[in-house]
Structure 1
Amino acid sequence: MTVQSEKRSWLWVPTAYFAEGGPYMVVSLVSAILFKSLGMENDDIALWTGLMMLPWSIKPLWAPFIDLFRTKRQWILATQLLMALLFAGMAALIVRESLSAVLIGFFFLLAFASATHDVAVDGFYLIALDKHTQALLAGIRGTFYRIASVSVQGGLVMLAGLIEKHGGSLRSGWAYSLLLAAGAMLALFLWHCLVLPRPADDGPVGGGDRFLTDFLSPFVSFFRMRGIVWILLFLLFFRLAEAQLGKIAVLFLQDKPEAGGLGLGLDTIGILYGTVGPVALIAGGILGGVAAAYWGFGKTVWPLVCAINLPDIVYVYLAVERPASLWAVGGCIAVEQFGYGLGYTAILLVMVALAENSGRYKTSHFAIMTGITILGMMLVGILSGYAERHLGYVTFFWYVMVCTIPSFLVVYPVSRLIPADFGRKNR
């Protein structure tokens, strides 16, 4: 790659990964806040927002078709334009009526478009950049993905709340927020029309007679991995508690005090999830990576497992005491998010280590493991709404603490498959 091409990559890599992170956060988190504010019950919110994660869990199944038809550049531009139109359509729907099956359908379409966009961008990154530039920009892509998450978690929710607070209706607040998202995605589409390169290798890959064999080979290879039963149990159950807490925590913050919640407004939730939470999350992620690089997998895995699970107890405190101080609420959210950022390093290390030793299909195996993890979280997340409805917030958060136990149990057999010094710098 020439110096000019390397410089040009700085024009599109940050914005492409910003376009990845934003829609994902809208579907995974903002949709729950929106549905709750418009009157949907917790169990229905958990059901629909859980099902919306399906496209990301099964995207390895349709990823090969992106290679077979058209170029990845065309897929990126087409999905970005589609997402801009979907955001605009959702804004129009909310103005007309607060909740409808059509609005939920638009969120599902956004999820499929976003997951397809993720596959195309990740593939384009590998084709358009040489290995040196890929390594150079690895941190940048992750940073801008997180910046998009922070912008969406805080910005869109806060804007909706501020418009409602200053005389507008709730529906108009959400409509303006979604129109802002539509404008941002349209701007990204137009920008990428100008700056995305046209790599010579970016073209349809003919499937031929061996397409089915080539498509199935990574899956067959994955299920033949040593210790596959323990690997599957780890992927499905390590995040059992987190998958349920993540669905209900934001609804608890938003719910009325008479229903057991904290009764926070959208503007306050936007501040907490746009500043305190992400800062703590990123700090925990950095510390977890540094610890793993210094001491290796063997010495850090159990502290990391504790970090992702034990801080969940703060929600028991919030549900029992229901403090009026935003400092107390923000502090609890910071503790839980810091622990999550720290502990997420554990699952990432396990998947990277397993993929690293899995032969020629490393990339496919990592994608399969990611899909299985999201599928497990989706199924459990769907049930979390029904559990909360029957248990109430206090008992539900105690139940979440019980659900942390499988996380510890599934780590031990998988940890025996990974070298203790994996990840350490001198390795």
Structure 2
Amino acid sequence: ALTLPTHDFVRYTLAMFWIMAFSSATHDIAADGFYMLGLDTPQQAAFIGVRTIFYRIATIASKGGLVIGAGLLQEHGYPVASAWSITFIIAAAFFMALCLYHFFVLPYPIADKSAPFNKGKSFLAEYFRILTLFFRRKDILIIICFFLFYRFAEAQLVKMVAPFLLDARISGGLGLTTTEVGFIYGTVGVVALMLGGLFGGYVIYKKGLKFWLWPMVLIMHLPDLIFVYLSHAMPQSLWLICSAVALEQFGYGFGFTAYTMYMIMVAQGEYKTVFYAIGTGIMALGMMMPAMASGWIQEMLGYKNFFIWILITTIPGFVVAALVKIDPEYGKNYKKEPRR
């Protein structure tokens, strides 16, 4: 990209985007590691939904808030370039303020210390040694399969929901407007997703991951039937469509909590941040590969048969859930609350 025959500012901008993406990915790993180091297992379960909520809020603020801010500046007479420059300067100042706040306010967990490192070996040798520790686990195949296939159906579904809602009825879609889809999927759906994650974290905190794994698997996958109904019934009622999407998104948020807690469980050990980063990478692969094929599959099958296909592809999620081994006490609040 840096060799494209274009203006220098485009190449410099692309280079800066690369640096920002690299920094963001690195920060993600550090934030996940800090979450695991700063909280014990029951607290991780209790607050995992809260973490998801703030992640979603940040996503909405960045994708919507920055655009709205730049748009308002343009309406007040600022050129496009100046409007976006001011917007990004304000965002940068905000993050600098957050950086200072976190530096002085965030606690320093006792467990937050350097992991054992063999100084007699090169950095790459030590890196690959730590990497191989993750893949030497006796149940590694089951772990990888769980990471890849627990959301196999949802990875395909999530990419086709918006097109299904937008496409004309003659093409098998519901023919909604962009504004209606933005409200249903971008607002109501996101709120339902966050509530599902919040509730999922709470119930794991109370009863543990093993107790809730199968209910979460069922509640995550069975609402996919909703899209089979919508594609066949083609309802006109916006309220009905909105409720259906909200129910499906709540189930997805609720079931995804089990996935996240399992990743945290697998990452336990002296290199938990590294292990969690590996799990996140495999998770991303498990989302990317099915999603890449979802559009082609839908074009081949049509929406009605595509959503039936989605139901069939939930089977791997049930299979991997049956194979994983989880401590019955994992995630459960082991501290007895005082009687009043």
- Fold equivalence (TM over 0.5): yes
Deviation at 1:251, TM superposition (A): 1.1
Aligned residues with identical type, % of pairs: 35
Please point out which of 269, 282, 285 is paired with 2:181: 269
- Once residues 251 and 292 of structure 2 are traced to their aligned partners in structure 1, the CA distance between those partners, rounded to angstroms, is 23
- Once residues 150 and 293 of structure 2 are traced to their aligned partners in structure 1, the CA distance between those partners, rounded to angstroms, is 17
**Count of residue correspondences:** 298
SS in 2 for 1:324: coil
Using structure 1 for the length normalisation, give the TM-score.
0.61
Is 2:98 aligned against 1:188? no
Question: In the superposition, relative to structure 1, how do residues 185 and 251 fare at CA in structure 2: closer, same or farther (>3 Å)?
Answer: farther
Using structure 2 for the length normalisation, give the TM-score.
0.75
Contact 1:308 1:340 in 2 (8 A): yes
- Matching residue of 1:10: none
Deviation at 1:150, TM superposition (A): 3.6
- Matching residue of 1:117: 24
Contact 2:162 2:185 in 1 (8 A): no
Question: In the superposition, relative to structure 1, how do residues 240 and 426 fare at CA in structure 2: closer, same or farther (>3 Å)?
Answer: same
Contact 2:53 2:194 in 1 (8 A): no
- Once residues 91 and 68 of structure 2 are traced to their aligned partners in structure 1, the CA distance between those partners, rounded to angstroms, is 22
Deviation at 1:396, TM superposition (A): 0.2
Contact 1:156 1:270 in 2 (8 A): no
Amino acid at match of 1:308: M
- Matching residue of 2:270: 360
SS in 1 for 2:267: helix
Which one has a larger percent helix, Structure 1 or Structure 2? 1
- Once residues 301 and 141 of structure 1 are traced to their aligned partners in structure 2, the CA distance between those partners, rounded to angstroms, is 20
Q: Deviations over 1:155-200 (max 9, x none)?
A: 78999xxxxxxxxxxxxxxxx8x99887644421133345534979
Question: In the superposition, relative to structure 1, how do residues 293 and 125 fare at CA in structure 2: closer, same or farther (>3 Å)?
Answer: closer
- Matching residue of 1:420: 328
Is 2:232 aligned against 1:320? yes
Deviation at 1:412, TM superposition (A): 1.4
- Once residues 18 and 222 of structure 2 are traced to their aligned partners in structure 1, the CA distance between those partners, rounded to angstroms, is 31
Deviation at 1:114, TM superposition (A): 3.4
- Matching residue of 1:281: 193
Structure-to-structure mapping, 1:271-350, within 5 angstroms: 271-350=183-262
Contact 1:298 1:420 in 2 (8 A): yes
Is 2:127 aligned against 1:215? yes
SS in 1 for 2:329: coil
- Once residues 268 and 156 of structure 1 are traced to their aligned partners in structure 2, the CA distance between those partners, rounded to angstroms, is 21
What is the RMSD computed on CA atoms of the aligned residues? 3.9
- Matching residue of 1:397: 307
SS in 2 for 1:360: coil
- Once residues 145 and 253 of structure 1 are traced to their aligned partners in structure 2, the CA distance between those partners, rounded to angstroms, is 25
SS in 2 for 1:225: coil
Is 2:168 aligned against 1:256? yes
Deviation at 1:124, TM superposition (A): 7.5
- Once residues 114 and 193 of structure 1 are traced to their aligned partners in structure 2, the CA distance between those partners, rounded to angstroms, is 17
SS in 1 for 2:331: coil
Question: In the superposition, relative to structure 1, how do residues 352 and 124 fare at CA in structure 2: closer, same or farther (>3 Å)?
Answer: closer
Question: In the superposition, relative to structure 1, how do residues 351 and 378 fare at CA in structure 2: closer, same or farther (>3 Å)?
Answer: same
Deviation at 1:224, TM superposition (A): 0.6
Please point out which of 140, 152, 164 is paired with 1:228: 140
Question: In the superposition, relative to structure 1, how do residues 131 and 245 fare at CA in structure 2: closer, same or farther (>3 Å)?
Answer: closer
Structure-to-structure mapping, 1:95-106, within 5 angstroms: none
Contact 1:293 1:423 in 2 (8 A): yes
Question: In the superposition, relative to structure 1, how do residues 143 and 215 fare at CA in structure 2: closer, same or farther (>3 Å)?
Answer: same
Structure 1 residue ranges without an equivalent (≥5): 1-87, 90-101, 160-175, 201-206
Question: In the superposition, relative to structure 1, how do residues 111 and 302 fare at CA in structure 2: closer, same or farther (>3 Å)?
Answer: farther
Amino acid at match of 1:117: S
- Matching residue of 2:75: none
Question: In the superposition, relative to structure 1, how do residues 262 and 186 fare at CA in structure 2: closer, same or farther (>3 Å)?
Answer: farther
Structure-to-structure mapping, 1:139-178, within 5 angstroms: 142-151=52-61
SS in 1 for 2:138: coil
Structure-to-structure mapping, 1:70-109, within 5 angstroms: none
Greater relative CO, 1 or 2 (CA 8 Å, sep 6+): 2
- Matching residue of 1:71: none
